[in-house]
């Protein structure tokens, strides 16, 4: 049976970060999830460490699997999440980079909102951002939302996040959200800071995941 939520995790050689990211998923209160880890053609030794971490998480009961791109894409990081989305099966999809984390209660309010209103295309949390500020904009805007915050309906990404996505630039993640909003897709903000950008900036959360 397909999971309700697919978490696409991109990893760029940062094995220690990935270990903490995997633990954050293991701590989620909502458990009908799969995690898809996509590495960007790292050196062989690093790839083996990534695969070992994923195997360990799977052995512990997490629904997780890994993929590796055949070569470095060098396209501002679009290649790995696009591959992860193609391999995902969830009704809802989100993107969690290796150095970020979700707090245990992250998905509950987001899924509740999506279930309550079938016309919503995505719902997003607030974000604790790199130990410096909180991203809690009530309307998505440039530099006020990270791709890790939204939970998207699969149908929205199927329509807008395709091979022809041409925003090959540093801010491609914002351009994707901008494209979705420009198409008239409805969204909702849930002002709960349950997404952590750069987990290593928050020692208190890191201790909770130890």
Q: From CA 65, how far away is CA 56, in angstroms rounded?
A: 11
Model pLDDT, residue 75: 61
Q: Which two tokens stand for residue 149?
A: 């915050």
Model pLDDT, residue 143: 84
Model pLDDT, residue 74: 61
Task: Return mean pLDDT, the chain.
Answer: 92
Q: What is the CATH number of the domain that holds 41?
A: 3.90.550.10
Encode pLDDT of 94-144 as tens digits: 999 999 999 999 999 999 999 999 999 999 999 999 999 999 999 998 889
Stretches in the chain below the pLDDT threshold 50:
none
Model pLDDT, residue 30: 97
* pTM of the predicted model as reported, rounded to 2 decimal places: 0.95
Q: Please name the residues in contact with 113: beta carbons below 8 A apart, sequence gap of 6 or more.
A: 120, 123, 188, 190
Instruction: Count up the domains in the chain and report the number.
Output: 1
Q: State which residues form the domain around 45.
A: 5-208
- What is the three-class DSSP state of 29? coil
């Amino acid at each position: 049976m397909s999971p309700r939520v697919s978490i696409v995790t991109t990893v760029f050689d940062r094995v220690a970060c990935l270990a903490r990211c995997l633990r954050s998923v293991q701590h989620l209160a909502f458990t009908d999830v799969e995690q898809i880890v996509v590495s960007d053609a790292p050196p062989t030794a690093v790839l083996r460490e990534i695969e070992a971490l994923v195997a360990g998480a799977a052995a512990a009961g997490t629904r997780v699997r890994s993929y590796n791109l055949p070569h470095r894409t060098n396209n501002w990081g679009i290649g790995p999440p696009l591959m992860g989305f193609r391999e995902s099966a969830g009704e809802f999809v989100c993107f969690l980079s290796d150095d970020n984390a979700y707090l245990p209660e992250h998905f509950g309010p987001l899924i509740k909102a999506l279930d309550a209103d079938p016309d919503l295309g995505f719902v997003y949390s607030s974000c604790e951002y790199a130990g410096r500020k909180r991203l809690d904009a009530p309307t998505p805007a440039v530099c006020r939302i990270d791709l890790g915050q939204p939970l998207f309906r699969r149908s929205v990404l199927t329509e807008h996040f395709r091979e022809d996505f041409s925003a090959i630039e540093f801010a491609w993640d914002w351009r994707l959200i901008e494209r979705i909003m420009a198409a008239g897709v409805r969204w909702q903000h849930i002002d709960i800071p349950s997404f952590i950008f750069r987990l290593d900036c928050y020692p208190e959360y890191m201790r909770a995941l130890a």
